[in-house]
Structures are given as C-alpha cells and as structure tokens.
Amino acid sequence: MQVSGAQVPGPAAETLRPALQAALAAVSRARFPLRVDGAEEALSARESLGAVLRDYALPRVSGTPLPLLVVIGGSTGAGKSTLLNSLLGAEISTAGVLRPTTTVPVVVCHPDEAELFRSGRILGGFAPEGDESRGAAAEAPKLRVVPDEAVPAGLAIVDAPDLDSASEDNRAGAHALLAAADFWLFVTTASRYADAAPWELLRRAGEHGTAVALVLDRVPPQANREVRSHLAGLLADAGHGSASLFTIPEVELEDGRLPEGLAQPVRSWLFGLGARPDARERIAGKTLQSVLSALPARLEELSAAVSAQETAHRDLKDAVDASRGRAQRDLDQALVDGRVLHGEVLARWQDFIGSGQFFRGISPSLARTRGHSDAAEQLLGAIRRNLAVLIQETVLELHAEALGALQRRGAGLAALTEHPGAARLPESTTEEAEAAARQWSLAAETLVTEAEQRAKTRVMSFGVKGVAAVLQLAVLSGTARETAGGDAARPVAGTAALTESLLDSLFGGQVRAELAGALRDRLRSVAGQAVRASLTPLHALLEDIAPNEGVAHELRRSATRVRETL
C-alpha cells in the first residue's frame, strides 16, 4: 500500500480502518499479570502499540488532513520546555529547576488546527484540560492545547513529559506521545547524551522508521566538535545517520529562555519544514509507511507474549487441579475403606449393638427402642466427628501440596508474594468439614425415611436414626472386607459384614445396595465440596491473574488482516 502524505488514500483506508480498529481492541485486551520472562517488555510493547494504533495509525486513516506532529522528547533536565519557549518567544511550557516541570504535556499548534486536538481526532488517548465532555476524560491523561499564530498551519509541536520521570504516569505519557509522533525532536545534554535508556527508544524509532532530529544542549565550547562527532556516530548506529543535529552552547538563560539567536537554527529548520507542504508530506508519509509496515510483526510479537502468559497460567492451574484430583481420589478411598471407623465410632457402635440382643429381635419393646435411640444419637455424633476430622486432614494436606506446587513455579511464587492472602486457608475450613459431615448424616436419615414405606414396621422398631447410623457404617466400611489384614482391621471388616446383614434383613439386598450407593455418592459429593471450598483463595488468585481468553488468537488474526491490506 502506498500512502499519500500523512494519509492513507480513501479506498485503502476504508479497508485498513476496521483492521486497525480490531487490532486496537485486541491490544487493549492483552494482559500480562504473570511474572514470566519478557512480561515487562511485553507490557511496555502493549502500551506503545496501543498508542501507535489509537493516536497515530487510526487518525491517519480517518480522511481528515492532519498537521505534522513533532514531539519534543528527552530525559529529565534536558531543556525541552526551555527549547519550546525559546522557539516561540513566550512561556508556553513551564521550565525550572524543580522536577518534573512538565506534568501535563503541551501541544502548540496553529489556531485553525486546535480543534483537531480538542476533539480527540489527534491524540485521542489524551483529554484536553478543562474538557470533561469526552467519555474517558476523567481517567485519561491530560493535554494542554495552546493555539499560537507563530506556529505554521500544518505543524504541531508537543512538549512531552520526561522519559525518565520519577512519575510512572509521566513516563507512560511520554512514551505514548512519542508513539503518536510523525517526528521526534530529541533533546539531550552534553553530559547525558550517551545514557542508555533514550538510545533504546531511538533505536526503536529507527527500526519503525520514525523520523528524528536531535538537539544537543549545554555543550561546553571546547567540547563541541568532539561531542558532536561522537553523537553523530551514535545516531548512525541507531539507524538515524541522516538525522539533523543541532548544538546549543552552555549559556545563562534570559527570563527562562535561551539568549536571542541561539534557538534560531532549530526554529528556522522546524518552522521552515512546517511552511513546506511537500516536506511535511514526505516526512509524514515515510513515517506512516514504516509504522504500518511494522504493525503485523509487532502484533505477532505481542501475541507470542500473550501465549507465554496463557501457557504459564495453564501450568499453574493444572498444578492446582492435579493436587486437588489426587486429594479427591485419596479421600474417596478413605471414605469407604473403614478409616472413619476407629476410636469413638467403634466404641459407640459396640454400645449400640449391645450384647447382640439387637440382632435377635426385630420387634423390641418401646423401652429398648428408646435405648437404641439414645445409642444411635451417640453413634451418629461419633461418626460426624470422625468424618469431619478426615475431611479436614485431607484439606490441610491438599492445601500444603497445592501451595507448594505454585511456589515451585516462578510465576506462582511471584503471584503468591504479591497476593499473600491467597496462601492462607479459609477461616471456615473447620466449619466446612463439620457442615459436610452434618449434611451427610441428614442425607442418610432422609434416604431411610424415603425407604420406610418398603419396610415400615421394621424401620420404626429400630428408629430412623438407628437405621441411618447402620447405613452410614455400611458405606464407610464398604471396602474394608476386601482390604482387611491384621488384628486392627478385623473390627472394621466385622462391622461391614454386620451392617450389611442387618440392612438386608430390613430392606432386602437390592434396596440395601441402592441405599448404600446413593449415600456413598452423597458422601463423596459433600466431602468434595468441602475440599473444593478450601481452594477458594487459590482459585480466586488464578482467576485474578488469568490472561484474557482468546487474545493471542485475536492478535494473530489482526496481524494477518493488517498485512493483507498493506
């Protein structure tokens, strides 16, 4: 695609505009919450690419004639604001010894073109000072628009915040403005011109084809030739061998501005450029062509960074899920192999069955029924307590394993360090385990009550709670006879046989199997809910640090669409 001046021709723009809009939407959705290799660079790339699309590329496919946007950038104390004020012969941007001096960027333009900035058709990511009418004005960084007849129509000059400002917002604003520029007027000093950070930006500008000129400020007279020669070599290495280079000697300021005449070479060159439409269009067209050509590769690079986030997040989630899966399988086994049937449970079971008379009569007296009811309550209580302990022990082991799995991964450790609350067990862990045991006990009584119509007299003779206790023991010892070994396991295996025999006598084998199966499923369900609840903080953390779904694919698709339209 060929561009004309600072604009893409109409038919091509109609095709390119929706592709750029889709690309901006995808870039805006890219998140980099995980500390993986390249995440910080990707975050910076996202901000830069978003600014390029929003504030540079899209305005230039709008069909509206735009001025050449020259952004004055540089490090703290380089003299950017002083240079702008000297160029215009007035205090346009605040200059001084306090840092930062430029907290709100200033754009100076011809009065006829001020509305382009106030309306957001240029630098739409910024909100003009005093104008809250635009949708995101409250959150958007501010921009001061200064109309000035001294600036030729077709030229706009921006004084950007310091690239190395102590304020993160200022640094972000400076980078966004440079990303939106047709031309960089880079200001540095004789003492700081070789600093690494600005040259990284200049190298990036060279790669993207952005035009650059450089002003070397506060140059000692005796060092002018040497410093200028060295700086020219650095510019060539950064891809700006043909860039204009201006030097300003170290002098005392007059009313905060350079003495008359020192800024004139820069002013003549810059304003002369603004007065020549052909020169403006050549510079703007070259920058636009380069920026558009670089977009597909930049979108693909960002997509790769998002994919790295997705892979890292999937690894963290899989680690937690694997820990939960192992814990759930172990718990499912422990719930039916007799591990609950120890200590107090076996003692209360012996009290419940007494001397064996319980099994010799199916129609005991009312007094015996009341005795069984009291014993059943005690047995049910013992079962609930032992079951709650087993669930809680499982939860503690699971939490330790899941936490360790995350801490062994760099991204997981960083996330836990930033969100320490996620590493703590919920305060309700004990209550959740006890509630699960109570729910299961009530479920047993409900099942027995529903089955009462099949053997009403016998169930009422023993009491619903008594039969529910027997049914619970049958489930909890379900596999004990298969794995019994040694003296310690014989009481549990015996309990399994006795409870099965009693339930068969009450309901028959088929109904007994149905009741036990239903109660076993309910046991695994309520216990599983308690286990999952213990991981709520970790799951909330994983959700909080998850990259937005589908963004990597959207970025790749946008890269393809943009490439096809160029």
Tens-place pLDDT, residues 323-340: 999 999 999 999 998 999
Residue span(s) of the chain under CATH 3.40.50.300 come to: 67-275
| Residue 391: its H or E element | helix 366-407
Q: Are 106 and 112 in contact (CB under 8 A)?
A: no
User: Torsions phi, psi of 246, nearest 5?
Assistant: -120, 145
Query: Which residue do the tokens 């269009």 mark?
Result: 281
DSSP 516-551: HHHHHHHHHHHHHHHHHHHTHHHHHHHHHTPPPTTH
Mean pLDDT for each consecutive 10-residue tract of the chain (566 residues)?
56 85 97 95 93 91 88 86 89 60 84 92 86 58 92 93 83 87 88 74 77 88 82 84 87 86 92 88 88 94 98 98 95 92 91 61 44 82 97 96 96 96 92 96 94 65 85 87 53 86 88 94 95 94 96 97 90
Note the pLDDT of residue 526.
Answer: 96
- pLDDT of amino acid 357: 40
Contact 564, 16 (CB under 8 A): no
Report the mean per-residue pLDDT for the chain: 86
Question: How confident is the model at residue 9, as a pLDDT?
Answer: 59
State which H helix or E strand residue 217 sits in. strand 211-219
User: Which pTM does this prediction carry?
Assistant: 0.81
The pLDDT, as a whole number, for residue 207 is 73
Q: Based on the number of CB atoms within 10 Å of its own CB, is 96 exposed (0-12), middle (13-18) or buried (19 or more)?
A: exposed
Q: Measured between alpha carbons, how far is 107 from 103 in angstroms, rounded to an integer? A: 13
E strand segments, 324-483: none
pLDDT computed for residue 360 by the predictor: 46
CA distances for 381 relative to 275, 336, 392, 429, angstroms: 93, 18, 17, 19
Measured N-to-C along each axis, helices 410-418 and 366-407 cross at an angle, to the nearest 10 degrees, of: 110
Distances (CA, A) of 28 to 122, 309, 330, 489: 19, 15, 44, 62
Per CATH, the number for 67-275 is: 3.40.50.300
Position 45 scores a pLDDT of 92
Q: Which residue in this structure is represented by tokens 């836990």? A: 416
Q: Kind of pairing, strands 244-249 and 211-219? A: parallel
Residue 545 and residue 310: Cα distance in Å, rounded? 10
For 255-309, the pLDDT digits (tens) are: 888 998 899 999 999 999 888 888 888 888 888 888 999 999 999 999 999 999 9
Region class of 209: left (phi > 0), else alpha (psi between -120 and 50), else beta = left
Q: Which of 214, 318, 203, 303 is nearest to 563 (CA)?
A: 303
Which residue shows structure tokens 């200022």? 170
The string of DSSP codes covering 200-211 is HHHHHHHHHT-E
What pLDDT is attached to residue 486? Answer: 45
pLDDT tens for residues 166-205? 788 888 888 888 888 999 998 988 777 777 667 877 887 7
Residue 289 and residue 56 in contact, taking contact as beta carbons nearer than 8 Å: no
The pair of structure tokens assigned to 147 is: 């109309």
